[in-house]
Amino acid sequence: MLPKINQPAPAFELPDENGKIHKLEDYRGRSVVLYFYPKDDTPGCTTEACNFRDDYSKYMDAGVALLGVSPDNVKSHQKFRTKYGLNFPLLADEGHVVCDKYGVWGRKKMMGHAYDGVFRTTFLISPDGLIQKVYENVKPADHSQEILTDIQA
What residues does 118 pair with on adjacent strands?
A: 105
- Whole-angstrom distance, CA of residue 150 vs CA of residue 153: 5
Query: Distance between CA atoms of 73 and 13, rounded to whole angstroms?
Result: 14
Q: Please tell me what DSSP assigns to residue 130.
A: B
Q: Please list the active-site residues.
A: 45
Residues 54-70: b if buried by 16+ CB within 10 A, e if exposed: ebbebbeeeebbbbbbb
Q: Per this entry, what is the length of the chain?
A: 153
Residues 6 or more apart from 14 whose CB is under 8 A from it?
A: 21, 22, 69, 91, 92, 93, 98
Other Cβ atoms within 10 Å of 120 Cβ, number: 21
